[in-house]
């Protein structure tokens, strides 16, 4: 399509139940949105239709998913919807989606809610919604960190089990091959062998071997957010062996990961 006007996408959604109850068909939404887009100086590039789809989950609406893919690809400059609940009934999904559109410089227009970002007042609303999105992310991050810190302080693992352990009922349990952990530490400490050769011997990458040699979990500890706590699991090596290995790593100029 060759045009000098900015391009718009229209998104319409209605379930069979909603159409019967409210009488707002897809055709009615399309017509109203096409007229409004044209009045604001846009040419409609495409109409995305999710008929009979729930608003609960964006992933369950294929046309919505495609709309967002095309938005990220900057195929149009604005999205027109009939009403916010056509877009999403989840406030969190709505806020996060609109925040993405802002990053992609895509305008957002909701006809019935009188929300649009093509004017100064609309852009202000966009900024407010984006601020809420950032606030929500920060709150979620703080809650997650608090929860993980509590788990670590209780001596329980917060990541997957390192080599030599397995997770059972959220507890670290030594595997039948856990004795090899001490072998790796002893080999590194007592043999004049490169990390590359030692890693190859045990089928690790060099970085994987470094992580093992510096992992305090093998001391019966749990580390999170630069804090170390006593774990509830069994240690696989002694603190003496661990410290000797750290000293050798430092002397060899091998940086910790």
**For residue 235, what are the domain limits?**
153-251
Residue 177 inside a domain? The answer is yes
Catalytic residues: 15
Q: Where are the alpha helices (DSSP H) in the chain?
A: 16-22, 26-39, 62-72, 84-87, 91-103, 120-153, 179-190, 195-201, 206-213, 239-251
Q: Same domain, yes or no, for 130 and 17?
A: yes
Q: What is the pLDDT of residues 217-236, one digit of tens each?
A: 999 999 988 889 999 999 99
Q: Confidence class of residue 57 from pLDDT cuts 50, 70 and 90?
A: low
Contact 24, 33 (CB under 8 A): no
Provide the 3-class DSSP secondary structure of residue 71. helix
Residue 145 inside a domain? The answer is no
Nearest by Cα to 48 from 26, 16, 28, 32: 26
| Statement: residue 17 has pLDDT above 70 | no
Query: What is the CA 225 to chain-centroid distance, rounded?
Result: 19
pLDDT of the residue at 19: 47
Residue 144 inside a domain? The answer is no
Q: What is the pLDDT of residues 109-127, one digit of tens each?
A: 888 877 776 667 766 766 7
Q: Confidence class of residue 20 from pLDDT cuts 50, 70 and 90?
A: very low
DSSP 164-193: TEEEETTEEEE-TTTHHHHHHHHHHHHS--
Residue 76 inside a domain? The answer is yes
More confident residue, 191 or 96: 191
Q: Same domain, yes or no, for 163 and 208?
A: yes
Q: Same domain, yes or no, for 162 and 243?
A: yes
End residue of a domain, out of 83, 102, 137: 137
End residue of a domain, out of 137, 170, 188: 137
221 vs 228: CA distance, rounded Å: 7
Residue 1 inside a domain? The answer is no
| Statement: residue 59 has pLDDT above 60 | yes
Residue 103 inside a domain? The answer is yes
pLDDT of the residue at 91: 67
Q: Phi and psi at residue 231, in whole multiples of 5°?
A: -90, 170
Q: Same domain, yes or no, for 158 and 122?
A: no
Q: Same domain, yes or no, for 11 and 109?
A: yes
Query: What integer best gives the mean pLDDT of the chain?
Result: 85
Q: Same domain, yes or no, for 108 and 178?
A: no
Pairing mode of beta strands 43-51, 227-230: unpaired
Cα separations in angstroms, 208 against 35, 63, 115, 226, 250: 60, 42, 52, 20, 17
Q: Same domain, yes or no, for 93 and 55?
A: yes
Residue 256 inside a domain? The answer is no
Least confident of 123-127, 239-243, 250-254: 123-127
| Statement: residue 216 has pLDDT above 80 | yes
Q: Same domain, yes or no, for 20 and 106?
A: yes
Q: Same domain, yes or no, for 32 and 98?
A: yes
Q: What is the pLDDT of residues 181-211, one digit of tens each?
A: 999 999 999 988 889 999 999 999 999 999 9
C-beta neighbour count of 61 within 10 angstroms? 22
Least confident of 63-77, 98-112, 181-195: 98-112
Region 119-137: what's the mean pLDDT? 69
Q: For residue 107, what is the domain's CATH number?
A: 3.40.50.1390
Q: Same domain, yes or no, for 68 and 101?
A: yes
End residue of a domain, out of 137, 172, 207: 137
Q: For residue 161, what is the domain's CATH number?
A: 3.90.1750.20
The total domain count for the chain is 2
Q: Work out the burial of residue 143: count CB atoms within 10 Å of its CB; fewer than 13 is exposed, 13-18 middle, 19 or more buried.
A: exposed
Q: Same domain, yes or no, for 106 and 44?
A: yes
Q: What residue has token string 């999105």?
A: 133
| Statement: residue 2 has pLDDT above 70 | no
Q: Same domain, yes or no, for 100 and 201?
A: no
């Amino acid at each position: 399509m060759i045009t000098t006007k900015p391009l718009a996408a229209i998104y319409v959604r209605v379930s069979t139940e909603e159409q019967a109850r409210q009488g707002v068909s897809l055709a009615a939404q399309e017509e109203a949105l096409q007229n409004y887009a044209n009045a604001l100086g846009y040419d409609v590039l495409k109409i995305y239709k999710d008929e009979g789809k729930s608003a609960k989950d964006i992933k369950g609406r294929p046309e919505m998913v495609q709309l967002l893919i095309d938005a990220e690809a900057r195929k149009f400059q604005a999205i027109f919807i009939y009403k916010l609940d056509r877009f999403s009934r989840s406030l969190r999904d709505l806020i996060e989606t609109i925040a993405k559109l802002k990053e992609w410089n895509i305008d957002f227009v909701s006809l019935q809610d009188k929300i649009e970002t093509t004017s100064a007042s609309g852009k202000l609303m966009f900024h407010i919604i984006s601020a809420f999105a950032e606030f929500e992310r920060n709150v979620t991050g703080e809650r997650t960190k608090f929860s993980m810190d509590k788990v670590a302080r209780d001596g329980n693992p917060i990541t997957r089990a390192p080599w030599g352990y397995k997770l059972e009922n959220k507890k670290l349990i030594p595997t039948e091959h856990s004795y090899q952990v001490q072998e790796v530490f002893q080999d590194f400490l007592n043999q004049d062998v490169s990390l590359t050769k030692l890693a190859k011997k045990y089928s690790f990458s060099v970085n994987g071997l470094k992580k093992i040699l510096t992992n305090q979990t093998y001391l019966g500890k749990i580390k999170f957010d630069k804090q170390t706590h006593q774990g509830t699991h069994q240690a696989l090596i002694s603190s003496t062996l661990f410290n000797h290995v750290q000293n050798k790593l430092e002397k060899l100029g091998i940086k910790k990961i």
